[in-house]
Homo-oligomer: A and B are copies of this chain.
Amino acid sequence: MKEQLENKSTPLFPISTAAELLGISVHTLRMYEKEGLIVPFKKDSNQRRYSRADLERIQCVRRAINEDKISIEGIKRMLALIPCWSIMKCSDKEREACPAYINMEKPCWAYNLEDNVCAKMNCSECEVYNSFVECNSIKDYMKQNWGK
């Protein structure tokens, strides 16, 4: 029994239910995923299951695109600024070998990292991914860390 209690990250809804709840099409959801904006849980059969946190995150993405007029590429670049290397306490050696540290086109969870901490874990359960659900969270994070 790894996870008994239901929480915000519990995989619940199949794609059609998620789409309905959000008022968007199933294809749009898959497109966001392909772009690396979201990482829904996948069952063994490869079917997606969306959590409440996923829905919240998708609403943020949606607002960013449709109201704030930030392009998907722009959102990806912003998410690429999350200091995952610091949160995951990567060694200098790991950093120098990690495309998520080196590059800046997309968030760490949009890579398929095979030779560091991230290889062992599922991004949909990772602290990095789950600490930045809300859109404002990146600037808030910077404010905290550059307090003085």
Contacts and interface: CB of A to CB of B under 8 A. Distances in A.
Given A74-B77, A77-B74, A136 B104 contact: yes
Contacts of A81: 78, 81, 138-139, 142
A83 interface: yes
A68 interface: yes
A80 B139 contact: yes
A85 interface: yes
Contact of A142 (B70, B83, B148): B83
A64 to B, nearest CB: 8
A139 B70 contact: no
A101 interface: yes
A33 interface: no
Interface of A: 68-71, 73-75, 77-78, 80-81, 83, 85-86, 101, 104-105, 136, 138-139, 142-143, 145-146, 148
